[in-house]
Amino acid sequence: MSSAYNVIVLLLLAAFGNVVCGVDESRIIGGQFASQGQFPHQVSLQLNGRHHCGGSLISDTMIVTAAHCTKGQSPSQMMAVVGTNDLNAGNGQTMGIAQFIIHPQYNSQSQDFDMSLIRLSSPVMMGGAVKTIQLADADANYEADTMATISGFGAINQNLQLPNRLKFAKVQLWSRDFCNAQNIPGLTDRMICAGHPSGQVSSCQGDSGGPLTVDGKLFGVVSWGFGCGAKGRPAMYTYVGALRSWIKQNANV
């Protein structure tokens, strides 16, 4: 198993070349398995009983995820599992979902404004392995090459094997000198870049909607990318700071 400090690129299952990837799942390859309670904000969104996307618990009734994880889906067919690092262990809380609140400006072609809030049918029991994560401030920013943390239940190899265990790894934030629309067509102010220029460790299927954190705060949401391990191509994350007021307005957080 490689070190947690291996840098990964998290991508959605993409069409090849310079096309915005599709809305399937993504995965962590490399990194380390998380211990119980290490990421108490982590959510597994289950569609028809199978892991579908990641999410982050921001209150006892609200989850932040990607809009493409909820677009076209029915709340009645999705459940949220919190408080576990192993989906087979049976030690998490499984919660019903009452409502999807998809950002009204979400564009499924460009993946701009790729954010959704999920309102749970009832509050989760907080404490122990279940805690909320603090959101980054509006317009929060970090220096280039700052190391962020990504976590998720996605697949771990090219055979799309789902381990059902939570993994995490470090990703490197890119500066706007490289992370801009001139270098990456389709990139907007609602997106941030993270990954490794070499694409030496990559990801393709199951962590969409999951958290990218810096200093213990939710800074990004896994959104889209180009191919798997494409050299010079980072992964794109929805920038929480840019949508902070919308979250406050709709989640009261």
Question: pLDDT tens for residues 18-62?
Answer: 333 333 334 455 678 999 999 999 999 999 888 999 999 999 999
Per the annotation, the verdict on 137 as an active-site residue is: no
Per the annotation, the verdict on 139 as an active-site residue is: no
Q: Which amino acid is at 127?
A: G
Average pLDDT, the chain: 83
Would you state the pLDDT for residue 106? 98
Higher pLDDT, residue 44 or 178: 44
| Marked catalytic residue, from 52, 114, 116, 223 | 114
Would you state the pLDDT for residue 234? 82
Using CA atoms, how far apart are residues 238 and 246, in angstroms rounded to an integer? 13
Would you state the pLDDT for residue 129? 97
Q: Which domains does the chain have, with CATH numbers?
A: 42-132+245-251 (2.40.10.10), 133-241 (2.40.10.10)
Output the pTM of the full model. 0.86
Closest CA to 206 of 164, 234, 171: 164
What is each CA distance from 2 to 97, 160, 170, 208, in whole angstroms? 36, 18, 11, 22
Beta pairing class for 93-102 and 78-82: antiparallel
| Marked catalytic residue, from 41, 51, 52, 68 | 68
Per the annotation, the verdict on 24 as an active-site residue is: no
**Is residue 172 scored above 80 in pLDDT?**
yes
Beta pairing class for 134-135 and 217-224: parallel
| Marked catalytic residue, from 44, 202, 208, 223 | 208
